[in-house]
């Protein structure tokens, strides 16, 4: 029982760290666009694919896909990303 709780806590922490890292790297890439910030985002995106939900991975990719799209499409991708992260962290 304690082992299961420990594993669950570790999984939550991995997801939380990956999601916060992704959001920070997204912010950094928006403020200071460069190859370096793009690579940092890609690294966190990969961590989200490893530890996160399929929805989070899908909406993280949508952020990449809508990079040059109209603002409303990009905003929708961001809202979906945040909702997917919240749902995953809250176990919904």
pLDDT in tens, 38-91: 999 999 999 999 999 999 999 999 999 999 999 999 999 999 999 999 999 998
Q: What is the pTM of this model?
A: 0.89
- CA-CA distance, 61 to 13, in Å (whole number)? 22
Output DSSP code: residue 33: -
Output DSSP code: residue 79: H
For 59-83, letters b (16+ CB in 10 Å) and e give bbebbeebeeeeeeebeebbebbee
Q: What is the percentage of the chain residues whose pLDDT exceeds 70?
A: 95
Give tens-digit pLDDT for 10-50.
999 999 999 999 999 999 999 999 999 999 999 999 999 99
């Amino acid at each position: 029982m304690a082992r299961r709780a420990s594993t669950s806590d570790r999984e939550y922490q991995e997801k939380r760290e990956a999601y916060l890292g992704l959001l920070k790297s997204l912010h950094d890439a928006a403020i200071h666009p460069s190859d370096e910030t793009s690579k940092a985002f890609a690294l966190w995106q990969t961590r989200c694919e490893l530890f996160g939900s399929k929805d989070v991975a899908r909406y993280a990719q949508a952020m990449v896909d809508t990079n040059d799209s109209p603002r409303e499409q990009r905003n929708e991708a961001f809202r979906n990303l945040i909702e997917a992260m919240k749902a995953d962290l809250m176990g919904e």
